[in-house]
Structure 1
Amino acid sequence: MKRRTLLSATGAALAGATLLRPAAASAASAAPGDGYVMAYFTESPSMTAANYGLHLAVSTDGLNWTPLNQNRPVATPTLGSRGLRDPFVLRRQNGGFVVLATDLNGTDWNYQSQYLHVWDSADLRTFTGYRLLKVHSLATHAWAPEAYWDPGRGQYAVVYSAVTGGRNVLMVNYTADFVTASAPQTFFDPGYDAIDGSFVSVNGVNYMYFKNNTNSTLLGTRSTTLNPGSFSIHTAAIGPGRGVEAPQIVKSHTANTWYLWGDTWSPNGRFFCWQTTNVAGGAWSLLNDRAYTQPLNSKHPGIAPVTAAELTALTAAWGVPTWNRIKSYNFPDRYVRHGNNVGRIDTYPFEPYQDQLWTLVPGLADPAGVSFRSVNYPDRYLRHYDYTIRLAANDGTSAFRGDATFYRTAGLADSSWTSFRSYNFPDRYLRHYDYLLRIDPLTSGSPATDRQDATFRIGY
Structure 2
Amino acid sequence: MSVHPRPGSRPSRRLILGMAATVPLALSADLTTGARTARAADSAHVMGYFTESPNGTGTDYGLHLAVSTDSRHWMPLNQNDPVVTPTAGAGGLRDPFILRKQDGTFVVLATDLKGTDWSYVSQYIHVWDSADLRTFTGYRRLKLHDMNTHSWAPEAFWDAGRGRYAIIYSAVNGSGHNVIMVNYTADFLTVSSPQVFFDPGYDVIDGDMAVGVGGVNYLYFKDSSKQALVGARSPSLDPGSFTAFSTPVAHGGTEAPILVKSQTSSAWYLWGDTYTPNGVFYAWQSTDLASGTWTALNQRDYTQPVNSKHGTIQPITTTEYTNLVAKWGAPAWRRLKSYNYPARYVRHSDYVGRIDEYPFDPYTDAQWKLVPGLADSSGVSFQSVNYPTRYLRHYDYQLRLDVNDGTSTFAQDATFYSTAGLADSSWTSFRSYNYPTRYIRHSDYVLRIDPISTAADRADATFSVGY
Q: Per the shorter chain, which TM-score range? A: over 0.9
- 1:33 deviates by 5.3
Aligned residue number for residue 211 of structure 1: 222
Aligned residue number for residue 56 of structure 2: 47
**1:369-448, aligned counterparts within 5 Å?**
369-442=379-452, 446-448=453-455
* Equivalenced residues, count: 443
- 1:358 deviates by 0.3
2:243 aligned with 1:232, yes or no?
yes
Aligned residue number for residue 343 of structure 1: 353
The one of 80, 83, 86 equivalent to 1:74 is: 83
For 1:162-184, what per-residue CA distance to the aligned partner results, in whole angstroms no more than 9, with x for missing partners?
01121110000000110110110
For 1:39-66, what per-residue CA distance to the aligned partner results, in whole angstroms no more than 9, with x for missing partners?
0000001122110000000000000000
Aligned residue number for residue 188 of structure 2: 178
For 1:419-453, what per-residue CA distance to the aligned partner results, in whole angstroms no more than 9, with x for missing partners?
000000000000000000000012xxx21110000
- 1:30 deviates by 3.0
One-letter code aligned to 1:310: E
Q: 1:14 and 1:35, CA in 2 relative to 1: closer, same or farther beyond 3 A?
A: farther
Distance 2:172 2:304 in 1: 31
The one of 216, 232, 236 equivalent to 1:221 is: 232
2:302 aligned with 1:295, yes or no?
no
Distance 1:2 1:326 in 2: 27
Aligned residue number for residue 273 of structure 1: 283
Alpha carbons 1:245, 1:265 under 8 Å: kept: yes
- 1:219 deviates by 0.4
For 1:143-166, what per-residue CA distance to the aligned partner results, in whole angstroms no more than 9, with x for missing partners?
000101111111100000001121
Using structure 1 for the length normalisation, give the TM-score. Answer: 0.94
RMSD over aligned CA atoms reads 1.4
One-letter code aligned to 2:249: I
The one of 344, 359, 367 equivalent to 1:334 is: 344
Distance 2:27 2:423 in 1: 37
SS at 1:376 equivalent: coil
Aligned residue number for residue 9 of structure 1: none
Alpha carbons 1:14, 1:305 under 8 Å: kept: no
One-letter code aligned to 1:68: L
The one of 17, 33, 43 equivalent to 1:19 is: 33
The one of 137, 160, 163 equivalent to 2:169 is: 160
Distance 1:17 1:269 in 2: 31
Using structure 2 for the length normalisation, give the TM-score. Answer: 0.93
Distance 2:307 2:227 in 1: 20
Q: 1:362 and 1:337, CA in 2 relative to 1: closer, same or farther beyond 3 A?
A: same
2:143 aligned with 1:123, yes or no?
no
Distance 2:30 2:138 in 1: 31
Q: 1:135 and 1:456, CA in 2 relative to 1: closer, same or farther beyond 3 A?
A: same
The one of 174, 195, 199 equivalent to 2:209 is: 199
Alpha carbons 1:16, 1:32 under 8 Å: kept: no
Distance 2:295 2:192 in 1: 39
Distance 2:290 2:345 in 1: 36
Distance 1:362 1:105 in 2: 41
Aligned residue number for residue 63 of structure 1: 72
Q: 1:20 and 1:386, CA in 2 relative to 1: closer, same or farther beyond 3 A?
A: closer
For 1:315-371, what per-residue CA distance to the aligned partner results, in whole angstroms no more than 9, with x for missing partners?
111001000000000000000000011000000001111100000000000010000
2:258 aligned with 1:251, yes or no?
no
2:98 aligned with 1:98, yes or no?
no
Distance 1:308 1:114 in 2: 37
- 1:14 deviates by 6.2
SS at 2:332 equivalent: coil
Distance 1:126 1:457 in 2: 32
SS at 1:34 equivalent: strand
Distance 1:356 1:2 in 2: 25
Distance 2:394 2:433 in 1: 11
SS at 1:314 equivalent: helix
Distance 1:184 1:111 in 2: 20
One-letter code aligned to 2:131: A
SS at 2:33 equivalent: coil
Alpha carbons 1:16, 1:253 under 8 Å: kept: no
Distance 1:135 1:119 in 2: 15
One-letter code aligned to 1:299: K
Alpha carbons 1:15, 1:250 under 8 Å: kept: no
2:372 aligned with 1:365, yes or no?
no
Q: Between 114-123 and 32-41, report the one with greater CA deviation.
A: 32-41
- 1:110 deviates by 1.7
- 1:78 deviates by 0.2
Alpha carbons 2:278, 2:307 under 8 Å: kept: no
Aligned residue number for residue 332 of structure 2: 322
Alpha carbons 1:370, 1:406 under 8 Å: kept: yes
Alpha carbons 2:144, 2:183 under 8 Å: kept: yes
One-letter code aligned to 1:403: D
Alpha carbons 2:29, 2:40 under 8 Å: kept: no
2:122 aligned with 1:108, yes or no?
no
2:437 aligned with 1:458, yes or no?
no
Distance 1:49 1:33 in 2: 31
Distance 1:19 1:186 in 2: 22
Alpha carbons 1:15, 1:251 under 8 Å: kept: no
For 1:277-330, what per-residue CA distance to the aligned partner results, in whole angstroms no more than 9, with x for missing partners?
011001100001000000010001100010111111111110010000000000
One-letter code aligned to 2:327: A
- 1:31 deviates by 2.0
Distance 1:340 1:215 in 2: 40
Alpha carbons 2:394, 2:449 under 8 Å: kept: yes
One-letter code aligned to 1:65: W
Q: 1:320 and 1:82, CA in 2 relative to 1: closer, same or farther beyond 3 A?
A: same
Alpha carbons 2:413, 2:432 under 8 Å: kept: yes
Distance 1:417 1:261 in 2: 23
